[in-house]
Structure 1
Amino acid sequence: MNESLHTVTALPAARPADRPFDPPAELLDARRHGPISRYTHPGGRPGWLITGYDLVRSVLADPRFSSRRELMNVVDFELPPAPPGEFLLMDDPQHRRYRKPLAGRFTVRRMRLLAERIEQITAECLDAMEQTGPPADLVTAFAKPIPTIVICELLGVPYEDRGSFQEQIDTFMGGETSEEELMAAYTATQEYLAELVAAKRANPTDDVLSELTGTDLTDEELKGISLILLAAGFDTTANMLSLGTFALLRNPEQMAALRADPALTDGAVEELLRYLSVAKTFMRTALEDVELGGRTIEAGTTVVLSYHTANRDPERFADPDVLDLRRQDAGGHLAFSHGIHQCLGQQLARVEMRVAFRALVDRFPTLRLAVPAEEVRLRPETADIYGVKSLPVTWDKGES
């Protein structure tokens, strides 16, 4: 049986040029062979690739699989533990120590209360875009500034520092920089956050980071938490807004449906999250031998979880490769992960996307690409988060 098991030997793989929203063909092929495949990590270590929805979801909920960075058996040297506060790469109880004081600050109710401010920020971005006139790069005019301003205001990052923050996060999450450039940006961000934490502890203001200085978290822990919140709160939502708009423009009947029916907005956001899955893959390491999909995952083996193929699994979603904003089965997608590491800021991201997509289609009913679709510049598969680097758009002047 094992001899016939499908094997994947190289990731990441490029996406087909004519289908930029689909997972790479190698991953889709792996899933067609079954939900689990053998995989060789870049460092030569043997592992597994999980591409099916049910198995990915089960691993995410299984405490026998670890998120700890130092246990990731993917290279031929030992990885260090995650720095204090960077709880995405930790298990409970350390993970819970950092997540618990944040949970009450990112509730559904609290995020909905932010909707009015998000509407204001979105309107200001669209006002500026309209006043400048077509064409415009939707990434710099719309997709990046909205989540950047929101997360920086939540954390209490001074307005004048937002531009440099955005640039640094782009550098170490964009997948196109050298190791030296990446480390320089990461170090600069860490140094800035250390200064910011010290300032908030000395003079608290009305923001989440100041609130956290009243807990037992150390300055080093607060610095790590802030980095996670800034990177996740900015980069993922920015790429969902830009890539989501690109997907809508490439599916004009779906764009028209959204424009015509405001009640479709919530469902549209869930379907775009499922269809695009910008956070593509994560890893877990087995803490003991685990039977999974008829295979034995040996203790110490690291598995790669493919979110974007799981969210396109025909066993879970009808016609999964079709973008359908009226889809009834988009709920339960894994775009925000699952289990104890399910995205803390998912409700904030949803509010931002609902407000931003609604405002964009209402303001610019003739919005369209300003270049051929094949010329739109996309992030490489090496990026932590998939997305659009630049999205030139145009519209009929005077329409709004």
Structure 2
Amino acid sequence: MITYPQQRTCPYHPASGYEELRDGTPLRKIRLVNGQEAWVVSGHDQARALLADPRVSADRTNAGFPMIVPPAVKAVHTSPNRPFIVRDDPEHNRVRRMLISEFTIRRLREMRPDIEQVVHDTIDTMLAAGPPTDLVTAFSLPVPSLVISRLLGVPYADHEFFEKATSDILRGRTPEVSVKATQDLIGYMTALAQDPPPGLIARLKADHVDTGAMTTDDLAFTALLLLGAGHETTASMITLSVITLLEHPEQLAAFRADPGTVPASVEELLRYLTIVESILRVAVDDIAIADVVIKAGEGIVIASSLVNRAADAFDDPDRFDLGREAAHHVAFGYGVHQCLGQNLARAELHLALPALFDRVPGLRLAAPVDELELRPIMTIQGVDALPVTW
């Protein structure tokens, strides 16, 4: 029985040990790294069907949930104040409705000039410092950290603290390091929520905490989620997108040649990279699908990196092709739990990637791809450092 997940050996390809899962069988039993058996889903249609099925739960406190996450993340996701994304409706929808207006396409259009300014200011600083540099610390991480800080009303002066805390939660050297980082970040957010600067946290406090619709603890955990997800994932996408484009020069040339292709190109990058490899769920009722029956209490792992390379959904799926139609990927999930911040992530990628390659036309890697240290399994895929020059 195959073990899941497995370590990537390439920044932009799923683990080579997953070939057995790509034989066209859309669901099969596998053994998780924690020893638990669960259903892994690699079929595109079956993944979308299950993610939209009310008999499939995102609540980590349900028996049988496949908890292949770092210990500190598990502690947050199973706490009484756990974030809304790991709750089911109606509680999930109740909190999501409090936030959704901040992440609409219309709202992101209003934010676009500010995001663009952040991107160009960050490139100015990077160019002034000169090559070589680490793209992660010079560009990929500062851009989304600044943007999400401004949106939430989190002082960017504290960015080194919250960036390190988020990294330690996901990739701490020991469980103790991860747990301490979680406690520190929750304490920081709880204090900030008492008297927040202008931004989304302040609006949530005025509209929902002060009216009794949300507790201060709920606000702190929600803000922690938005802050962490708002910079960590997009930073990884920027970095891996740069690697992928530089490693595919003919695709990079097409990307540079026509700004009108940027939105479609970003969708292909999201599909191809799939930095969140797994979406975790559990069945709360028996579900018959694809000639098998998932029993109530059995774990379900949507193998997103494989779903996004399913041959029945994407022609020649292992080919990186900026000309393809890839918008039906599941990089942001699917159904009621689809990523709240996807419009923000897209806006940042639409602006950051073209600006970087336009203003630094000689950008190139300063280390071979096979020498880059990849992040471990059970976390957001990426690299913690990317040496570049120009």
Superposition TM-score tier, normalisation by shorter sequence: over 0.9
Moved more, 186-195 or 96-105: 96-105
Amino acid in structure 2 at the alignment position of 1:14: Q
Match for residue 71 of structure 2? Answer: none
Following the alignment from structure 1 to structure 2, what is the Cα–Cα distance between the partners of residues 156 and 83? 25
Given the alignment of the two structures, is residue 180 of structure 1 paired with residue 172 of structure 2, yes or no? no
Match for residue 298 of structure 2? Answer: 301
Q: Indicate how the Cα distance of structure 1 residues 46 and 12 shifts in structure 2: closer, same or farther if over 3 A, else same.
A: closer
Q: TM-score, normalised by structure 1?
A: 0.91
Match for residue 139 of structure 2? Answer: 142
Q: For structure 1, which runs of at least 5 residues remain unmatched after alignment?
A: 1-6, 396-400
Offset of 1:27 from its aligned partner? 2.4
Conservation of the 8 A alpha-carbon contact between 1:176 and 1:380: no
Offset of 1:378 from its aligned partner? 1.8
Given the alignment of the two structures, is residue 321 of structure 1 paired with residue 314 of structure 2, yes or no? no
Conservation of the 8 A alpha-carbon contact between 1:111 and 1:347: yes
Offset of 1:379 from its aligned partner? 1.1
Match for residue 201 of structure 2? Answer: 209
Q: Aligned to 1:105, what secondary structure does the other structure show?
A: helix
Amino acid in structure 1 at the alignment position of 2:321: D
Match for residue 37 of structure 2? Answer: 46
Offset of 1:193 from its aligned partner? 0.3
Following the alignment from structure 1 to structure 2, what is the Cα–Cα distance between the partners of residues 188 and 28? 41
Offset of 1:46 from its aligned partner? 2.6
Offset of 1:360 from its aligned partner? 0.4
Conservation of the 8 A alpha-carbon contact between 2:5 and 2:32: no
Across the two proteins, how many residue pairs are aligned to each other? 377
Moved more, 374-383 or 140-149: 374-383
Q: TM-score, normalised by structure 2?
A: 0.93
Following the alignment from structure 1 to structure 2, what is the Cα–Cα distance between the partners of residues 45 and 374? 32
Match for residue 4 of structure 1? Answer: none
Q: Aligned to 1:296, what secondary structure does the other structure show?
A: strand
Root mean square deviation, CA, Å:
1.6
Amino acid in structure 1 at the alignment position of 2:143: I
Following the alignment from structure 1 to structure 2, what is the Cα–Cα distance between the partners of residues 115 and 135? 29
Conservation of the 8 A alpha-carbon contact between 2:8 and 2:374: no
Given the alignment of the two structures, is residue 386 of structure 1 paired with residue 381 of structure 2, yes or no? yes
Q: Aligned to 1:378, what secondary structure does the other structure show?
A: coil
Conservation of the 8 A alpha-carbon contact between 1:176 and 1:382: no
Following the alignment from structure 2 to structure 1, what is the Cα–Cα distance between the partners of residues 273 and 112? 24
Between the aligned residues of both structures, percent identity stands at 39
Q: Deviations over 1:88-124 (max 9, x none)?
A: 1110011112111101111101011111111111111
Offset of 1:377 from its aligned partner? 2.3
Given the alignment of the two structures, is residue 234 of structure 1 paired with residue 226 of structure 2, yes or no? no
Conservation of the 8 A alpha-carbon contact between 2:60 and 2:78: yes
Following the alignment from structure 1 to structure 2, what is the Cα–Cα distance between the partners of residues 81 and 356? 35
Offset of 1:156 from its aligned partner? 0.6
Q: Indicate how the Cα distance of structure 1 residues 126 and 43 shifts in structure 2: closer, same or farther if over 3 A, else same.
A: closer
Q: Deviations over 1:304-352 (max 9, x none)?
A: 110010001110001111111111x201110110001001010000000
Match for residue 30 of structure 1? Answer: 21
Match for residue 3 of structure 1? Answer: none
Match for residue 14 of structure 1? Answer: 7
Q: Structure 2 residue aligned with 1:249, among 228, 232, 246?
A: 246
Offset of 1:70 from its aligned partner? 0.7
Offset of 1:159 from its aligned partner? 2.4
Following the alignment from structure 1 to structure 2, what is the Cα–Cα distance between the partners of residues 363 and 26? 39
Q: Aligned to 1:39, what secondary structure does the other structure show?
A: strand
Offset of 1:166 from its aligned partner? 0.8
Q: Deviations over 1:220-244 (max 9, x none)?
A: 1101110110111111100000011
Q: For structure 2, which runs of at least 5 residues remain unmatched after alignment?
A: 68-73
Q: Indicate how the Cα distance of structure 1 residues 299 and 319 shifts in structure 2: closer, same or farther if over 3 A, else same.
A: same
Following the alignment from structure 2 to structure 1, what is the Cα–Cα distance between the partners of residues 316 and 179? 42
Following the alignment from structure 1 to structure 2, what is the Cα–Cα distance between the partners of residues 81 and 159? 29
Q: Structure 2 residue aligned with 1:56, among 39, 47, 66?
A: 47
Conservation of the 8 A alpha-carbon contact between 1:138 and 1:392: yes
Q: Deviations over 1:74-99 (max 9, x none)?
A: 47xx9884442501111001111211
Q: Aligned to 1:390, what secondary structure does the other structure show?
A: coil
Offset of 1:25 from its aligned partner? 2.2
Following the alignment from structure 2 to structure 1, what is the Cα–Cα distance between the partners of residues 358 and 63? 46
Following the alignment from structure 1 to structure 2, what is the Cα–Cα distance between the partners of residues 236 and 161? 19
Match for residue 107 of structure 1? Answer: 104
Q: Indicate how the Cα distance of structure 1 residues 196 and 98 shifts in structure 2: closer, same or farther if over 3 A, else same.
A: same
Q: Structure 1 residue aligned with 2:121, among 121, 124, 149?
A: 124
